Structure 1
């Protein structure tokens, strides 16, 4: 898979603030107006593994892209009306419960899913740094204790990307460990892939972050029970203390006298409340820059200042885990739809010649990878905002024309799951659609 991936080349305006509560009425007519979309001749397909805006769309729909199974593992080809800027090379993406694609070049769209029966999505991530200097346990700066041994092994990407840690000591719990730079007081997350675990029932392979608070070390998410052959990604979050900055790998925890072995790969230490995709390192900390996705034909999506859109996403974070407001649709600083970090509310702002308005739902609660379906409209009838969580709970809010009919600038780009600086958080884009407005 790795080789295959590498072959792929304020304004002073009056402000209106409205809050919402649960409702069951859909505020958008997703079937459109009965007329064909503008500029149908420029529509293109969705690229390999995705459905894009093309002839045959429902009446009133202008453009559409929906995630599907990629033609090449971990790789999408986007339609011409969508542009991805992803400047960091040698990226990775999870493509199933036990599999990763590595070596993905810069500016290549990544197709992600967390389980073999889970939906696909386009992975869009914020800037992150992996503070583990060598993400594969092996040569220095990795060290061993109590007669542990290290050997190269195949990882979840099918390449020799893992290190196999063996416990040969019949009295002590052997381990491998690596020194890392601490960030005292920071809430941080360790993640890594563990597989091919030998051992007796009751034993487990264990990842420990020595500097984390004690509650994080006792978390069941730090352990994988033996015996196990399939690869599994684990992650845990804690607050870094003043203890030594070290990440430890135990292949046969449980009883110190046991002898066993386990393979570990793609280890991350990130200053964040949840993990992002693995960031391979080869001797020093490494930063992956944020992904930037935008529709580059916004002049056709914003008609005379009005637009209607639907976006389905699966945040990689749970409510309460984000650090920054996460833009879902961004036209400019005064015209955007975002998930607010302070309370998890969905917010829409509109600013134009007639003034400014802000719509906000109540605070939302969701789990990692839970689907959110967001529908938004700015029309002569006013503003409308709705979110559906996992196809069940619906919450909507709207502003009538008297206060909410605010046309927006017809800019050249609409950014999706981020702003011009890139994604502020990590999420998968499952679907995006744009509609005519009358």
Structure 2
């Protein structure tokens, strides 16, 4: 599925081939309305709840419309988002909220990502700098977004494993991640389409995460992580690897090479490496959410990374440098720091462990009774810490904003926001 933006100032989005359209730039829904794809209103909220937004199925694939009290800033155009096991939406304009899920029928979330660069100069196999070997051929094909966005690599050599490859700038000693969409894999049992990073260490090559067994008509995204060595920087795609060389074909699309320990959403490139800037999400009514100098909130998120894969502390709720809740990169602990009229206090859980896309339910409270921090990984027991030290009421930030899953510079890591709630503190 691909979205195309019109040139009008209030752009409209068109899902290719369906005629479905929705408008952006119109006045946001009133009150606490969750907007298209979200739910939760100020009117009728449970007793003590001030504002709420929760993700649900979007009315237009890959797109949310947020309520007036939430603002997303995302300056990069031509973004993508995964919307199922075998589908993505491409062509998403700047500042448009993205609705993401990785499993068909699974939960939705608002995708909020840190800044990333795709170092592959042309993200889909096609014209140069892509090259072929052993009678491989390249042709344009439909990709997982429904558009002609894939490259079909055919192996016409029955004696050697034909392939296509692209040179990339390497970063010796760096831990990097390759991801790509693979689909319409022809072949016999025992054959597989394969992505190989020539510069990666041997431990990262040839495992199940790099292969798609034939036959596989549906699209599937694969990723693998390795340490870059002094070998040549090249990424290879094989349509018909296996124990015996055979003639076959497979399609590849939206290839990423990122200097990170886990993949982010596909970053399309058209001849040079390209950077996607960080998403910035904030509630713009801090004077209503910091209730008489206190804060009580619930955040449900699904980190796109597993514990141990983040590179930076990841803010979940950021008011100012002295008042924030974050996942600490060094050990995966959940940390809350509060600074008020009477001083500073910090509470932290033990180091946490979670898998990619595993939901974390976080409950935060700063009140006259002290600090309270609770986290419940999906399917596991609650972990809680409390500190009776009362720091006193906190100040409303001059910006009037409370940042969610990031700070004023944007998201430090990649995660899906499932819901956020703010409460009165009594």
Query: 4+ residue runs of structure 1 moved beyond 4 angstroms?
Result: 4-7
Work out the CA distance in 2 between the residues paired with 1:268 and 1:432.
31
Equivalent runs, 1:305-384 vs 2, <5 Å: 305-384=293-372
Asked if 1 retains the 8 angstrom alpha-carbon contact of 2:342 and 2:390, the reply is: no
Aligned-residue Cα RMSD (Å) equals: 1.3
Asked if 2 retains the 8 angstrom alpha-carbon contact of 1:53 and 1:62, the reply is: no
Asked if 1 retains the 8 angstrom alpha-carbon contact of 2:143 and 2:150, the reply is: yes
Work out the CA distance in 2 between the residues paired with 1:329 and 1:5.
32
Asked if 2 retains the 8 angstrom alpha-carbon contact of 1:135 and 1:281, the reply is: yes
- With CA pairs under 8 Å and 6+ residues apart, which has the higher RCO, 1 or 2? 1
Asked if 2 retains the 8 angstrom alpha-carbon contact of 1:326 and 1:339, the reply is: yes
- Distance change >3 Å, CA 5–CA 319, structure 1 → 2: farther
Asked if 2 retains the 8 angstrom alpha-carbon contact of 1:142 and 1:179, the reply is: yes
Work out the CA distance in 2 between the residues paired with 1:424 and 1:274.
13
- 1:409: which partner in 2? 395
Correspondent of 2:114 among 126, 143, 163? 126
Equivalent runs, 1:138-217 vs 2, <5 Å: 138-217=126-205
Is 1:434 the equivalent of 2:422? Answer: yes
Unmatched 5+ stretches in structure 1: 10-40
Q: Normalising by structure 2, what TM-score?
A: 0.93
Shift of 1:218: 2.7
Question: 3-state DSSP class of the match of 1:221?
Answer: helix
Correspondent of 1:294 among 271, 279, 282? 282
Question: 3-state DSSP class of the match of 2:152?
Answer: strand
Asked if 1 retains the 8 angstrom alpha-carbon contact of 2:87 and 2:219, the reply is: yes
Shift of 1:391: 4.3
Shift of 1:4: 5.4
> What whole-Å deviation, never above 9, does each CA across 1:279-338 have from its counterpart, x for those lacking one?
000000000000000000000000221010000000000000000000000000110000
Shift of 1:2: 1.3
Asked if 2 retains the 8 angstrom alpha-carbon contact of 1:5 and 1:101, the reply is: no
> What whole-Å deviation, never above 9, does each CA across 1:129-152 have from its counterpart, x for those lacking one?
000000010000000000000000
- Distance change >3 Å, CA 301–CA 391, structure 1 → 2: farther
Unmatched 5+ stretches in structure 2: 14-28
Question: 3-state DSSP class of the match of 1:100?
Answer: strand
Question: 3-state DSSP class of the match of 2:45?
Answer: coil
Work out the CA distance in 1 between the residues paired with 2:334 and 2:376.
11
- Distance change >3 Å, CA 95–CA 198, structure 1 → 2: same
- 1:253: which partner in 2? 241
Shift of 1:410: 1.2
Correspondent of 1:304 among 268, 292, 304? 292
Question: 3-state DSSP class of the match of 2:240?
Answer: strand
Asked if 1 retains the 8 angstrom alpha-carbon contact of 2:194 and 2:210, the reply is: yes
Work out the CA distance in 1 between the residues paired with 2:232 and 2:48.
60
Work out the CA distance in 2 between the residues paired with 1:227 and 1:385.
49
Question: 3-state DSSP class of the match of 2:190?
Answer: coil
Work out the CA distance in 2 between the residues paired with 1:404 and 1:314.
31
Asked if 2 retains the 8 angstrom alpha-carbon contact of 1:146 and 1:172, the reply is: yes
